[in-house]
Structure 1
Amino acid sequence: MRDADEFDAFYTASANRVLGHLYVVIGDRAEAEDAVAEAYARAWARWSSVRDCDSPEAWVRTVAYRIAVSSWRKAVNRLRAHRRDAAGTQPVDATSVDHVALMTALRQITVDQRRVVVLHHLVGLSVADIAVETGTNVNTVKTWLARGRKALAGHLADGERQSTGDGRSYAV
């Protein structure tokens, strides 16, 4: 019973952070929820070893990210069809202009840059922690972070024009 209580406490304390991180990285809440749920299921199945990790939350975050990437690779055609269908619909909930602009800008940078920017600025990890979690060199993380920030700044610049797809454009 100790394991179940310990895992429940871990899940309660970390699930929203992990979901928020993955949602910002991949940009699709439903896909993020599926990947995070699967990652926590895998963590529970291996809880005796996962709990002894330096950071069980980082373990779950990494597994969730890998599940999402695997899902992308397996379902490219399904995602394209989904995006085509969803392109003409407007979101139901009221979202701030800043939030929409940030999400749009994040989707325009590479996935590696997006991942380190989110881990650093939204999750609050240090560059060294990001390097460990992503399995990359510290200097690579710094490069991705610098390039990601620069690309985001360009996409978020005042007066930037966005095309509506029908020949018209609007200022962001």
Structure 2
Amino acid sequence: MTVEEFEEFYAQTVARLTGQLYVMLGDLHEAQDVVQEAFVRAWARRRQLDRGRQPEAWIRTVAWRLAVSRWRFGRRSAEAWKRTGAPPDVAGPGPGEIVLVEALRGLPDRQRRAVALHYLCDLTVEQIAAETGMSASTVKTHLTRARTALADRLQDPRMEEAPGA
């Protein structure tokens, strides 16, 4: 099947297949997910798919099997939680964490990534450079700029008040 034939096949069948899987599964979101995943897998095999060999049936079968696999995984996960008990309640983020996350969101992507890799993942400057493809000096620059920006954003307003005021 050529790229054009596959695109035409997709356009003609995706809604019908999603509807069929929706009826089989009873969950529209799940049906959409498994049909899309089946089409992704079909795309990789598009040269082997032939209209005479019922590619629609192949996609429907793959989508169904994906749904069954997800059910099994969910069931096994639920059984594991029953055996080990429910996870402990975790308190939501406090005001300090919220302020930190907002401050980090305000950083440019590269600075935020460098800070996360350095301070959360404990990577050295050289390791960050290797992982990101940046030079070590660029990583240092991003870390320095990020620290400066975070220091400005995270200043405690109580510390700015004069001691005797």
Relative to the length of structure 1, the TM-score reads 0.42
Which structure is larger by alpha-carbon Rg, 1 or 2?
2
Relative to the length of structure 2, the TM-score reads 0.44
